[in-house]
Amino acid sequence: MSKFIPVAEPVLDGNEKKYINKCIDTNWISSQGEFVEKFEKDFSDYCNVSYGVSTSNGTVALHLALEALDIGEGDEVIIPDLTFAATINTVIYTGATPVLVDIDEDSWTIDVDEIRKNINKNTKAIIPVHLYGQPCAMDEILRVAEENNIYIIEDCAEAHGAEFNGKKVGSFGDISCFSFYGNKIITTGEGGICLTDDKDLYKRMKKLRDHGMSPKKRYWHDEIGYNYRMTNMQAAIGVAQLEKIDDIMSKRKWISEFYDKELKDLSGVTLQKNLIDRNKVCWMYSVLINEESKVSRDEIIKILDESKIGNRPFFYPMHEMDIYKEYAENDRFEKSTKISQRGLNLPTSLNLTEEDLKRVIYAIKSEV
């Protein structure tokens, strides 16, 4: 019987264990210690951004960014209909109103025309999500934000290292948020970070992350903060992962090129696009199953499950879920609906061998 192929898994074969042991040997297991600062510096350098504030996960990174920009009741925040629920939930935490808009057919990311249509005097921010490793149209999004004096918070949770016009995602927004959950491109187990070039925002986020405590007077709180800190042990894993990020990226590139070559001529499959102004990265390997396919996306999932091949359907569009319906009055969401129904993620574990990939490809090819 053939072995199970996971859709994603962390690979911890560098200095992860050594650095974690150092935390234990030195007693620095909580949120102070050398690795936290090193990770913040190394990751912000990697993205070419001045400051990094690490957090306990990617969801609270988004919440921290919104709070630092004073977004709350009465404000509107424009977000794409197709994303992971953390994007919309964090806007709701603040008391602001999320405004869902449709996505663009080529990039599967937020549609800039839809952003324009939904801006009004209450609009305070846009959260472009670089979905499945594909950068959003950052030039146009920057233009809209500037013309209307609204903030950009990039959700980069699925796109570490991706580039728009040669510039890394995470370097465009007023604040940019990443996740380092176990299945993300690099991981700290659970973890996240907010990046910014603005020193005041950096200081504000550090303070809010640490209970809102005054940096000048211990145990004096002049605003309501949170405990959103990353531990030194999480950061230790992150530092080790960052040491290998170029290898991780090239292995992912090898995996996605292998799939591309084998799947590109199938009429039942549409590949994720390589757009001229962008350098996407491979988080999961994402494709659409077309109407031309002999069997539907859901039937393919069943077959992959039976063949012990890990896989994931795309996220559901936010507007379809009852709890978010009230935020979906301004659009028809034709594209997010279609792409969500057809989208399928295939394995991109770094441990995949050529043989594993051939097994996945064979299973797809015999059905579509």
Ligand X SMILES: *Cc1c(COP(=O)(O)O)cnc(C)c1O
Binding residues for ligand X (CB under 6 A): 57-59, 83-84, 86-87, 129, 155, 157-158, 179, 181, 192
Which residue carries 């209909």 as its tokens?
Answer: 81
Give, in degrees to the nearest 5, the angle at Cα 331 between 90 and 346: 65
Least CB distance from residue 323 to ligand X, whole Å?
17
Strand 312-313 vs strand 343-346: parallel, antiparallel, or unpaired?
A: antiparallel
The closest of 88, 138, 141 to 114, measured between CA atoms, is 141
Residue closer to ligand X by CB (options 54, 57) is: 57
The closest of 85, 49, 67 to 209, measured between CA atoms, is 67
Residue closer to ligand X by CB (options 44, 345) is: 345
Residue 257: count of CB within 10 angstroms of its CB: 11
Least CB distance from residue 56 to ligand X, whole Å?
9
Strand 192-196 vs strand 151-155: parallel, antiparallel, or unpaired?
A: unpaired
Residue closer to ligand X by CB (options 157, 237) is: 157
Least CB distance from residue 286 to ligand X, whole Å?
12
Please give the structure tokens belonging to residue 80. Answer: 């794409």
Least CB distance from residue 192 to ligand X, whole Å?
5
Number of helices (H), then strands (E), belonging to the chain: the values are 12, 14
Rounded (10°) CA dihedral 24, 27, 31, 35:
-60
Ordered alpha helix ranges (H), 210-320: 232-243, 245-263, 297-306
Residue closer to ligand X by CB (options 179, 345) is: 179
Least CB distance from residue 131 to ligand X, whole Å?
7
Least CB distance from residue 57 to ligand X, whole Å?
4
Residue closer to ligand X by CB (options 57, 270) is: 57
Please give the structure tokens belonging to residue 118. Answer: 């939904």
Residue closer to ligand X by CB (options 115, 129) is: 129
In angstroms, the CA 44 to CA 193 distance is 9
Residue closer to ligand X by CB (options 57, 107) is: 57
Least CB distance from residue 106 to ligand X, whole Å?
19
In angstroms, the CA 138 to CA 118 distance is 18
Nearest-CB residue to ligand X? 58
**How would you label 272-292 residue by residue, b for 16+ Cβ within 10 Å and e otherwise?**
beeeeebbbbbbbbbbbbeee
